[in-house]
């Protein structure tokens, strides 16, 4: 979830609160060993290790102790000490000692709270005293491995939120409560959309027929927008030799995040974490002329990343993610037109969900060129090209240094959901580096070899993550076109079953996803259960409806709509589905 950066004062308050949390844990449990404690988008967390672990019920006790420390108005002083002194200060803190050895230079920063009452390793950035940390609330716990490695010790991560005023905290707490109601994991189980199995493994979701219907609708929507623009589908294997990623540059940066595969031979394979290197090899499979360009390859395919167990979260963070992926190979002169086409596709797609989009130009960090592929000249050229597109679209965008992919800058689209939360979703990425690393060329009009340009684009991003966002955005009440069951036919008694089946058959022939509830239950119970399942339209059939060859229409949000001729409601539904209202 992406957020605009909060003001510097608020960041300092949250940073200080993380130290206050650590101090509270140690005061209540002197055996506390401390990990790291950074700020988050809306608060802070701290990793701790205690002999008798904290529970959710203990959060109130910890929060009370933090408030006591806040009242003490303890001064906070930042200072530098040499590493020998630091080792003495933290002789009983093994994780701090490990961090000291990882820090470059002869000195390290320490934060001194209450004139030596509580000292911790820190680079600085605090408010003046504990009384200045604002209004906070501890929210939850999770288990994590030290420095994210499963081979290391397990710690507890204690999360909190913090704002400058009580009103802001109250408003955010209400937002958290609503978000909890809308948790996609809860909704997914209630609506029978997906599940997880301990035999399959964490982070590997299994989609039911109902959940798969939603996936297919989303994928088909994207294809309906891009195929008229010349995108062609390709298909690639799910494994590759590691040499592909050594050439692309992914191996050096991501080799520890890949699933490694060992077969009968000595050749080492990995499960693909992305698709672009494979797609370059389709392009490279034969000589290309300027007449062939642009080439637009698209694919909806699963990628695999060895995420840490503690970081997995429902569909939001998984080990098997389905990417709606496409790559355009074009000339430099074609870049602007291709990127504008992608931009238009993204805007049209997200308008169907009433998401507010805000573009962000994600730039490289020129102070750390070692993190990226390519030269300064290549990066400046690529960033200017993206900036020109945004200016041409008269977009209200922000620029963020250090948010680029390691191979090129990008335009990221931030979508705001119904709860006002921001999510980074669609992206357009311009890449001069992979074509150079794979020597991807074409022959121009003069017969000379020229380097092709590569554009990466994603509309949905990860299908799983997008589904999670949608389920929470709509609180499970998906629009008609996207709902697994669009219509429920509810006969009042068994006497109306023949007509109910006739209605169902006619709607199904119009490609409407319809089910008949033929159980011997009261009509009230049938309606309530259809509401629980978030069915958009219910057609109720009693004796009168059967005699008049009509149906009583009930909408999920609007309630009873009165009687309608079957042909009329069928036409209305077909049009609504077509328009993706």
| Residue 184 covered by a domain | no
Which of 323, 383, 429, 486 is the catalytic position? Answer: 323
Q: Max CA-CA distance within the chain?
A: 92
325 by Cβ neighbours in 10 Å (0-12 / 13-18 / 19+) ranks as buried
The domain in which residue 98 lies consists of 8-177
Q: Are 444 and 370 contained in the same domain?
A: yes
- The beta-strand segments (E) located in 372-480 are 398-401, 410-416, 422-431, 441-443, 449-451, 453-462
- Sign of the CA dihedral with 518 first, then 519, 522, and 526 last: negative
Written as six digits, the tokens of 36 are 């790291």
> Are 294 and 410 in the same domain?
yes
List the beta bridge partners of residue 565. 550
Given 327, 526, 534, 550, the catalytic residue: 327
Structure tokens given for 420: 């006002």
Same domain as 233, residue 101: no
Q: 189 or 408, which is more confident? A: 189
Catalytic option among 12, 137, 319, 456 = 456
Name the pLDDT band for 392 (thresholds 50, 70, 90).
confident
Q: Is 50 exceeded by the pLDDT of residue 5? A: no
Instruction: Please compute Rg for the chain using Cα positions.
Output: 28
The angle at the Cα of 245, spanning 240 to 250, to the nearest 5 degrees, equals: 135
Would you give the DSSP letter of residue 29?
-
Lowest mean pLDDT among 18-27, 172-181, 187-196, 437-446: 172-181
Which CATH number do you get for residue 258? Answer: 3.30.930.10
Average pLDDT over residues 150-175: 92
CB 187 within 8 A of CB 316: no
More confident residue, 419 or 524: 524
Question: Which residues, other chains included, contact 347 with Cβ-Cβ below 8 Å and sequence gap of 6+?
Answer: 357
- For residue 3, indicate whether it is catalytic: no
Rounded alpha-carbon distances, angstroms, from residue 410 to 63, 328, 333, 383, 457: 41, 14, 18, 8, 9
**Helices (H), ranges, 352-446:** 376-392, 433-437
Quick one: 251 and 366 in the same domain?
A: yes
Residues 252 and 353 in one domain: yes
Identify whether 422 is a catalytic site residue: no
Assess contact for 21 and 158: CB atoms under 8 A. Answer: yes
Residue 551's beta-bridge partner residues? 564
Q: What is the dihedral of CA 401, 407, 408, 413, to 10 degrees?
A: -80
Regarding whether 153 and 18 lie in a shared domain, the answer is yes
Name 461's Cβ contacts closer than 8 Å, sequence gap at least 6: 323, 324, 424, 425, 426, 427
**Residue 297 neighbours by CB under 8 Å, 6+ apart:** 231, 232, 233, 234, 279, 282, 283, 326, 327, 328, 329
Do residues 30 and 67 make contact, with C-beta atoms less than 8 angstroms apart? no
> Catalytic: 494?
no
145-154, 369-378, 405-414, 420-429: segment of lowest average pLDDT: 369-378
Is the same domain home to 143 and 199? no
The answer to whether residue 185 sits within a structural domain is no
Query: Are 356 and 492 members of one domain?
Result: no
Please confirm, yes or no, whether 325 is among the known catalytic residues. yes
Catalytic residue among 26, 272, 410, 554: 410
Residue 355 pLDDT greater than 70, yes or no: yes
Domain end marker among 412, 447, 473: 473
Task: Note the pLDDT of residue 525.
Answer: 95
Q: Please answer whether residues 46 and 34 qualify as being in contact, where contact means their C-beta atoms are separated by less than 8 angstroms.
A: yes
Annotated catalytic residue, options 305, 360, 534, 570: 305
Q: Determine the pLDDT at residue 287.
A: 96
Contact of 540 with 554, CB cutoff 8 Å: yes
> What is the number of helices (H) and of strands (E) in the chain?
18, 27
Residue 394 lies in a domain: yes
Q: Mean pLDDT across the chain, nearest whole number?
A: 92
CB 319 within 8 A of CB 203: yes
Domain presence at residue 183? no
Q: Where are the beta strands (DSSP E) in 273-421?
A: 295-304, 320-330, 356-363, 398-401, 410-416
- Contacts for 90 with CB less than 8 Å, ≥ 6 apart: 96, 97, 100, 121
* Residue 370 placed within a domain: yes
Peptide bond into 393 cis (omega under 30): no
| Residues 452/399, Cβ–Cβ less than 8 Å | no
For the segment 378-383, the average pLDDT, to the nearest whole number, is 84
Residues 145 and 41 grouped into a single domain: yes
Q: Note the pLDDT tens digit of each residue in 108-151.
A: 999 999 988 999 999 889 999 999 999 999 999 998 889 878 78
Domain boundary among 473, 500, 523: 473
Catalytic, 305? Answer yes
Q: Considering only CA atoms, which of 399, 413, 303 is closest in space to residue 350?
A: 413
Catalytic residue from among 325, 412, 417, 517:
325
- How do strand 260-262 and strand 453-462 relate by DSSP bridges? unpaired
Any catalytic annotation for residue 276? yes
């Amino acid at each position: 979830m992406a957020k605009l950066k909060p003001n510097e004062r608020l960041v300092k308050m949250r940073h200080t609160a993380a130290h206050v949390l650590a101090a509270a844990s140690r005061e209540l449990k002197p055996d506390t060993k401390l990990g790291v404690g950074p700020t988050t988008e809306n608060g802070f967390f701290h990793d701790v290790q205690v002999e008798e672990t904290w529970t959710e019920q203990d959060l109130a006790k910890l929060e009370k102790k933090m408030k006591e420390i806040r009242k003490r108005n303890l001064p906070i002083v930042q200072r530098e000490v040499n590493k020998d002194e630091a080792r003495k200060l933290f002789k009983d803190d093994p994780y701090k000692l490990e961090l000291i050895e990882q820090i470059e230079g002869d000195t390290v920063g320490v934060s001194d709270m209450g004139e030596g009452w509580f000292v911790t390793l820190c680079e600085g950035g605090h408010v003046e005293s504990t009384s200045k940390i604002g209004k906070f609330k501890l929210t939850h716990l999770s288990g994590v491995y030290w420095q994210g490695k499963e081979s290391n010790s397990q710690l507890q991560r204690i999360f909190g939120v913090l704002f400058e005023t009580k009103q802001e905290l109250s408003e955010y707490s209400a937002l958290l409560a609503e978000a909890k109601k809308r948790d996609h994991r809860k909704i997914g189980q209630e609506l029978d959309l997906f599940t997880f199995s301990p035999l399959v493994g964490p982070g590997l979701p299994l989609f039911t027929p109902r959940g798969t219907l939603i996936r297919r609708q989303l994928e088909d929507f994207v294809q309906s927008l891009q195929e008229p623009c010349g995108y062609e589908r390709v298909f690639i294997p799910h494994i590759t030799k590691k040499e592909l990623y050594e050439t692309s540059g992914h191996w050096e940066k991501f080799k520890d995040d890949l699933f490694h595969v060992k077969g009968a031979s000595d050749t080492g394979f990995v499960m693909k974490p992305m698709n672009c290197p494979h797609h370059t090899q389709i392009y490279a499979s034969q000589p290309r002329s300027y007449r062939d360009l642009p080439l637009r390859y698209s694919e909806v395919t699963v990628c695999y990343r060895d995420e840490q167990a503690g970081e997995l979260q429902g569909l939001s963070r998984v080990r098997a993610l389905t990417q709606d992926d496409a790559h355009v190979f074009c000339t430099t002169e074609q870049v602007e037109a291709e990127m504008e086409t992608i931009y238009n596709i993204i805007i049209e797609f997200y308008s169907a969900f009433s998401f507010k989009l805000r573009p962000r130009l994600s730039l490289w960090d020129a102070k750390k060129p070692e993190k990226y592929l390519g030269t300064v000249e290549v990066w400046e050229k690529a960033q200017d090209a993206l900036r020109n597109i945004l200016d041409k679209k008269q977009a209200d965008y922000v620029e963020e240094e250090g948010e680029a992919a390691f191979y090129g800058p990008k335009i990221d689209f931030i979508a705001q959901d119904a709860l006002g939360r921001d999510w980074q979703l669609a992206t357009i990425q311009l890449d001069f580096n992979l074509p150079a690393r794979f020597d991807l060329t074409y022959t121009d009009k003069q017969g000379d070899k020229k380097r092709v340009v590569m554009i990466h684009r994603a509309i949905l991003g990860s299908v799983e993550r997008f589904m999670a966002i949608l389920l929470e955005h709509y609180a499970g009440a998906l629009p008609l076109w996207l709902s697994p069951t669009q219509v429920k036919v509810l006969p009042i008694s068994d006497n109306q079953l023949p007509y109910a089946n006739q209605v169902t058959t006619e709607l199904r022939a119009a490609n409407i996803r319809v089910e008949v509830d033929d159980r011997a239950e009261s009509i009230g119970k049938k309606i309530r259960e259809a509401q629980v399942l978030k069915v958009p339209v219910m057609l109720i059939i009693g004796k009168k409806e059967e005699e008049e060859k009509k149906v009583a229409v009930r909408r999920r949000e609007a309630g009873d709509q009165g009687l309608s001729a079957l042909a009329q409601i069928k036409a209305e539904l077909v049009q609504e589905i077509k328009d993706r209202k």
